[in-house]
Amino acid sequence: MITAEALTKVYRAGRSGPHRAVDGISFTAEPGRVTGFLGPNGAGKTTTMRLAMGLDRPTSGSITVNGLPVGRHAAPLRQVGAVLDAGATHPGRTGRQHLRVLASTHGIARRRVDEVIEMTGLGSVADRRVKGYSLGMNQRLGIGAALLGDPATLIFDEPVNGLDPEGVRWVRQLARQLAAEGRTVLLSSHLMSEMSQTADHLIVLGRGRILADMPLADFIDAAGGTRVLVRSEDATELMTALSAEDVTVTAHDAETFEVVGLDARTIGRRAREISAALHELTPLRTSLEESYLRLTHDAVEHRSGGLTPSKPAAASPGATNAAGTVPALTSPALTGPATADRTAEQDGEH
């Protein structure tokens, strides 16, 4: 279990003054489930994970792992394993040597090293030097190191970075298996499709604060609203008939449009009332990505290309809501540099 209480980290940055990377957050990552940690670049995910691992000190508040700050556990590697920086290995050592050194300094039996090599699929490269490892092999080695102490809590920061599709699936299955064994798994990823298949619960950060803390399914429902895809040869008349203050209608093409704010049954009835011919009436499930983009829209530190509202197709007879405007159903593209600008070493604690 990971418990944060009023956790705050302020970096004494340069020109722009102090920066609250983590701003008074409280949450619990519970055992037996995968907690997805989401947020735009610079939201404070890595900082929170580093604080949990005792790699940084909170400015105020606290974060504990299995009831204690990690440094107060007698054998931390048996309590918590983390993948925070997959590159943190001695390049001249082999993967097996790396794991053996870690095991021996933490009083872990040698046979556990062999088990972990087996679990991570590194068998064929375990005796090669780490400097020759691909990004994916390094990720697997980092995950292996995290598993070495058979800990009850795991913290994975972007564990699928650099992995091929088979590796991505392996991480997903591993995270699910670890949670099914009753462990706490806190996992960050920018891959929404992956997160939606892996996490049970989500904590979403934006600018150091918690924007959402709820089960994955509730998050998608809360942000999504009801969306229905409609195809009708009388699209223009039907769109007009459906217009109302809290209903948003967006045209895709001359015959197809999407409705937010009415369910399929109501739309079907309205179509019958005006004798519109319906060809399709499909309730759409909002994706995690859409829900996430809507929620974090205002919390993005970096954005390239500015806002790009969705455009109805050129042939559209017009998409209107009650205000007569063309609404954007999908959120702006969320793109930006891979990492936020850092002014490391400026808080004098590293």
Q: Does 119 bind ligand ATP (CB under 6 A)?
A: no
Instruction: Give CA separation, 296 vs 36, 207, 215, 223, in Å.
Output: 15, 10, 17, 11
Minimum Å distance from CB 338 to ligand ATP? 7
Chain positions 46 to 105 lying near ligand ATP, rule: CB under 6 A, are 46-47
* Closer to ligand ATP by Cβ: residue 157 or 258: 157
> Cβ contacts of residue 115 below 8 Å, gap of 6+?
none
The answer to whether residue 347 forms part of the interface with ligand ATP (CB under 6 A) is yes
Q: Which stretch binds ligand ATP (CB under 6 A): 162-170, 272-280, 281-289, 342-350?
A: 342-350
Q: Tokens 């993005």 appear where?
A: 300
- Applying CB under 6 A, does 135 fall inside the site for ligand ATP? no
Per DSSP, what are the bridge partners of residue 249?
259
Angle at CA of residue 133, ends 127 and 138, nearest 5°:
100
User: In this structure, what DSSP letter does residue 38 have?
Assistant: E
Q: Which is nearer to ligand ATP, 9 or 183 (CB)?
A: 9
Please list, in sequence order, all residues whose beta carbon lies within 8 angstroms of the beta carbon of residue 169, skipping any fewer than 6 positions away. Answer: none
Binding mask 6-35 for ligand ATP (x = CB under 6 A): -----x-x-----x-x--------------
Residue 341 binds to ligand ATP (criterion: CB under 6 A) = yes
Nearer to ligand ATP, 308 or 343 (CB): 343
Residue 53 CB, shortest distance to ligand ATP, in Å, is 13
Regarding 314 and contact with ligand ATP (CB under 6 A), the answer is: no
Helices (H), the chain: 45-52, 76-79, 95-105, 110-119, 135-147, 165-180, 192-198, 216-224, 235-242, 264-273, 288-296
Please pick, from the candidates 57, 72, 269, 342, the single residue that binds ligand ATP as defined by CB under 6 A: 342
**Closer to ligand ATP at the Cβ: 13 or 229?**
13
d(CA 206, CA 208): 5
Q: What is the DSSP string of 244-283?
A: -TT-EEEESSSSEEEEESS-HHHHHHHHHHTTPPEEEEEE
| Closest distance to ligand ATP from the beta carbon of 153 (Å) | 19
Quick note: the x/- pattern for ligand ATP over 30-49, rule CB under 6 A, is ---------x-xxxxxxx--
- CA dist., res. 214 & res. 199, Å (int): 11
- Interface residue list for ligand ATP (CB under 6 A): 11, 13, 19, 21, 39, 41-47, 339-344, 346-347
